[in-house]
A = this chain, B = another copy of it.
């Protein structure tokens, strides 16, 4: 297996550091579409496979495949032709915010869509070749837009993190955990992480939501998530970290009281939606290097680097 795209920090004290070539994908590169932002990435046999959230010029998001050798330059494929198990087309108007995870020998793409014009919910599609995607029966009721599968079964059950939402921009939201034996029927739902809406943790007072698929470490499951603050001129999306118990992921071992990364760069501050860092993928190698891909201002894809040790240190220190 080839090495993942990862660069060391310039300053040893940093817990996280941005790629200087940010943002990765800019508008000009994909004809007929305007923005590429919150997208899914996996690294398999030396190749990066992506599913891009691409906004067409009607401002409608679509999901499109892409591949890369270096994790930086991607060749864009086409709109995914999602199919149901019976081979029929999966009908929907928009699809957004995909996350990839490998479980066993299959890849699962979790994303938000409005199947048959129903209200937005989470859908799971299975693929083995990154080209053909089979959508499973709807496992989640609307309104839910942020779903993230764990990369393995725990105690014989699939595990999902998600944030129940409302019809619109949703000025509230916490992270829930759900379980399933077959990826179709889900239950045993439980509130996992509640946002702080106190007088000293403003950064996530509006809502929080899961980001990339959790990262398995010796000390627990690392959950990278986003938190949203509110100002008189709009919301600010930042990134932070929690740690769940390995065997019982309903137990939160640590949860950072602060953000780890917040919009500072011009491509995070200014765009279709200002002040957004929305993490969606965390490629991790066996040495504990982590490359985070994140949507930036709902307009770009940004990259930041860290390590498992850095995140563990951060989440314990700011618990």
A235 at the interface (CB under 8 A from B): yes
Interface residues of A in 219-238 (CB under 8 A from B): 229, 231-236
Distance to closest chain B CB from A176 (angstroms): 6
CA distance A204 to B233 in the complex (A): 16
Contact B141 A164 (CB under 8 A): yes
A130 at the interface (CB under 8 A from B): no
A19 at the interface (CB under 8 A from B): no
Interface residues of A in 85-138 (CB under 8 A from B): 93-94, 114, 116-119, 121, 137-138
One of B59, B141, B273 near A144 (C-beta < 8 A): B141
Indicate the size class of the contact surface on chain A.
35 or more
Contact A189 B59 (CB under 8 A): no
A57 at the interface (CB under 8 A from B): yes
Contact A231 B185 (CB under 8 A): no
Q: Which residue of B lies closest to A262 (CB)?
A: B34
Q: Which residue of B lies closest to A165 (CB)?
A: B166
With A189-B138, A269-B270: A200-B262 Cβ-Cβ less than 8 Å: no
CA distance A239 to B272 in the complex (A): 15
Binds B, one of A1-9, A73-81, A167-175, A282-290: A167-175
Contact B270 A60 (CB under 8 A): no
CA distance A264 to B235 in the complex (A): 20
A248 at the interface (CB under 8 A from B): no
Distance to closest chain B CB from A54 (angstroms): 13
Interface residues of A in 182-199 (CB under 8 A from B): 184-191, 196, 198-199
Mind listing 22 A-B residue pairs with CB under 8 Å? A34-B262, A57-B203, A58-B196, A58-B258, A119-B191, A121-B189, A138-B187, A138-B188, A138-B189, A140-B189, A141-B162, A142-B164, A142-B176, A165-B166, A184-B187, A185-B187, A185-B188, A186-B186, A233-B274, A236-B272, A269-B271, A270-B274
Interface residues of A (CB under 8 A from B): 27, 34, 56-60, 93-94, 114, 116-119, 121, 137-144, 162, 164-167, 169-170, 172, 174, 176, 178-181, 184-191, 196, 198-203, 229, 231-236, 257-260, 262, 264, 266, 269-275, 298, 318
